[in-house]
Amino acid sequence: MLDPLAAVRTPQDPPWDVYLTGTVFLDIIFTGLDSAPVRGTESWARGMGSSPGGVANMATALARLGLRTSLAAAFGDDMYGSYCWDALAEGEGIDLTLSRTVPGWHSPVTVSMAYEGERTMVSHGHEAPPPEEPVVDDPPPSRAAVASLVPGEPQEWIATAAGRGCRVFADVGWDDTGRWDLAALTDLRHCEAFLPNADEAMRYTRTGDPRAAARALAEHVPLAVVTMGREGVCAADGRTGEFVEVPAVVVEALDPTGAGDVFTAGFLTGSLAGWPLADRLAFAGVAAGLSVREFGGSLSAPDWSEIAAWCHRVHNCPAQDPATLCRFGFLRALLTDSDRTWPRRRAVPTIGFRTG
């Protein structure tokens, strides 16, 4: 597998490229719905898949891009938990040294229904009980960390990691309080980059345009990246004043679950590799675009072989737009014919079949 950080690695590097923590869900995804389910009716989906979800989406996307990834999470001791642990540790090579299996705790579950280019999710789960023995809650030494910011709820590990020189990349979820108070995101001051979607960015900045929102956010964080769906992505660098906008990659979408996580993983990869801002945004868009062509949030994430195949098709299309060829020229120079691996595991309708 291609190592995107090969040119910048040294013997003094920390053991991990990226650290992240959060909740692992078992995702059950239904696709091929013609419309949203209607109350009092039964809807049949043309496709179904199961895969690890939640923070596993991000961890898998990072690992498939060749980053040494460490995940701290709780796993249930049910079949779902065992499946997720095996899929991440054995299937993806993610380090779970800081993770734990919780006896008697059932795994959180999310059912995702994809239709009309979007998805609706229903989740169930309970907070994992505290460990019986004290655990080390400090993050391990790593180049970078991914954090999900929660309004009004600072996370001590983020400040600890940033204080050690770790580069923190953050996203944010929907603000159920409805206040959308940027000052409530106290951990933002420890972050290098903030990557909300357009709706979130505009609500936090009280602006009506995602580009204006990106510029406003860049006054609070070194780098603001705002994803705009089919319009692409824009970013404002508060340190240099640079502003970049990149159009979206056009693909036939099957399931958008986890696309935002894959985008962040791609952007983080390019950032650690030292690529220009425009190249980072373009690469992240390709990774996210390729992910929506498959079932599931985590196991739909592309690896370098899939990215290489996409790049080859783009550069060998006779009618290709010259602007597109220019935008992704850096990828062609990066990839080689040796970037071929075995097919990655994909989401399947069931978590396992009985044998024997």
pLDDT of residue 137: 60
Q: Could you tell me the mean pLDDT of each successive run of 10 residues in the chain, 356 residues long?
A: 92 96 93 87 89 95 97 95 95 95 95 82 92 69 97 95 97 93 97 97 98 98 96 97 94 78 97 97 94 79 91 82 84 68 62 58
- Pairing state between β 47-54 and 100-102: unpaired
3-state SS assignment for residue 296? coil
Q: Which residue has the tokens 């985590």?
A: 298
For residue 88, give both structure tokens. 């991440």
pLDDT of residue 37: 86
pLDDT of residue 343: 54
Q: Is the dihedral of CA 271, 273, 278, 281 positive or negative?
A: negative
Strand order in the sheet with 69-72: 69-72, 16-21, 142-149, 167-172, 193-194, 223-227, 233-237, 243-246
How far is it, in rounded angstroms, from Cα 351 to Cα 293? 20
Q: Which residue has the tokens 């590799």?
A: 273
The DSSP string of 138-197 is SPPPEEEEEEEE-TT---HHHHHHHHTTPEEEEEE---TTS---GGG-GGGGG-SEE--B
Phi, psi of 286 (to 5 degrees): -65, -45
Q: Report whether 92 contacts 64 (CB < 8 A).
A: yes
Q: Is 28 exposed, middle or buried (0-12, 13-18, 19+ CB in 10 A)?
A: buried
pLDDT of residue 31: 82
Max Cα–Cα distance, the chain, nearest Å: 63
Residues 273-291: b if buried by 16+ CB within 10 A, e if exposed? bebebbbbbbbbbbbbbbb
The DSSP string of 183-213 is GG-GGGGG-SEE--BHHHHHHHHT-SSHHHH
